[in-house]
Amino acid sequence: MTKMLGLLVAVVLHAGGAIAAGNFYQDVDITWGDGRGKVLENGQLLTLSLDRSSGSGFQSKAQYLYGRFDMQLKLVPGDSAGTVATFYLSSQGSAHDEIDFEFLGNASGEPYTVHTNVYSRGAGGREQQFRMPFDPTRAFHTYSVVWNPAHIVFYVDGAPIREFRNQQAALGVPFPTSQPMRVYASVWDAEEWATQGGRVKTDWSKAPFVAQYRGYAAAGCTAADAAACARSNAAAAWMFQELDAAAQEQLRRAQARYMIYNYCTDKYRFPQGPPPECAADK
Ligand SMILES: *[C@@H]1O[C@H](CO)[C@@H](O)[C@H](O)[C@H]1NC(C)=O
């Protein structure tokens, strides 16, 4: 009987979606960088470094179909021009889905850029970029993604900065609904384009460039039990989350203050008018 109950509880918990609260040893694999990625502090801290010969990166062991994903980052300090640190979700294959946070470094004293993008079925090109209201190299700040059947929301320190709504039924804009994704992070060299359009190159005399990650938390449906997860009340917090009036106001303010690029208003790229989702998205 006790055994039965135990099994039942385990099944219910699993269906509700695993909540992994920050042990990098258990949650991720360092997948490239030949020793440049390091797990420290009993699994609480992960550092990724970049030098002239390589960057480094890690990925979650688990795959998710919908979820809420939090990561705290402390970005490369000082002269980080040409470097990019990332925290993103992606599925596999040519028609892949992807939800991106990328942090574009800059020359000493110049502001970082938060670059966001959403790919569905292999098509991206939905960039929005933001300034940060703080120095992201001095302390850890929390960057989060909520992905559910209604929308994808990007958060900085708990405040929404971008919403990409599911307009598949209404406008025929593909939305990620079926391909499980892993969480990825990396630090790499993108001096050809990252900083001031590629004009400011990486100063390799400042290498290694190190970004720090902690506080990783993933509350998601695992691929195999997505349907059960969607039905489960335990998943409700993020699975059925929508932006209420207060959150929409926060979003509007963040965009008014901090947005520096929006593909939706790029007349050069879209002379015939913006893509269809732009009318509905924030
Ligand atoms: C770097 O700083 C310059 C000058 O302040 C700014 O124009 C640019 O947007 C910043 N970010 C990047 C990634 O180039």
Instruction: Note whether 202 and 282 are within 8 A (CB).
Output: no
Q: Work out the pLDDT band at 239, boundaries 50, 70, 90.
A: confident
Beta bridge mates, 145: 69, 154
Q: Which amino acid is at 201?
A: K
Tokens of 26: 């258990």
Which residue range is the domain that position 169 belongs to? 3-280
Residue 54 Cβ inside 6 Å of ligand 1? The answer reads no
Euclidean distance between CA atoms 255 and 261, whole angstroms: 10
pLDDT digits (tens, 9 = 90+) for 156-175: 999 999 999 999 999 999 99
pLDDT digits (tens, 9 = 90+) for 71-96: 999 999 999 999 999 999 999 998 99
Residue 143's alpha-carbon distances to 15, 42, 71, 140, 205, in angstroms, are: 26, 22, 5, 10, 30
Catalytic residues: 98, 102
CATH of the domain at 185: 2.60.120.200
Identify the pLDDT of residue 225: 76
What's the structural domain count of the chain?
Answer: 1
Answer whether residue 1 shows pLDDT above 50: no
Residue 148 Cβ inside 6 Å of ligand 1? The answer reads no
Query: Which residue has a Cα nearest atom 10 of ligand 1?
Result: 111
Least confident of 50-54, 230-234, 242-246, 272-276: 230-234
Euclidean distance between CA atoms 183 and 29, whole angstroms: 11
Distance 209 CA to ligand 1 centre (A): 18
Identify the pLDDT of residue 224: 73
End-to-end CA distance of the chain: 52
pTM: 0.91
Distance 81 CA to ligand 1 centre (A): 9
Query: Which residue has a Cα nearest atom 7 of ligand 1?
Result: 196
Q: Which amino acid is at 129?
A: Q
Instruction: Note whether 163 and 171 are within 8 A (CB).
Output: no
Q: What length does the chain have? A: 282
Distance 197 CA to ligand 1 centre (A): 9
Residue 111 Cβ inside 6 Å of ligand 1? The answer reads yes
Residue 83 Cβ inside 6 Å of ligand 1? The answer reads no
Share of the chain above pLDDT 90, in %: 82
Write down the residue that tokens 């009993």 correspond to: 42
Answer whether residue 150 shows pLDDT above 80: yes
Contacts with 244 (C-beta within 8 Å, 6 or more apart), sequence order? none
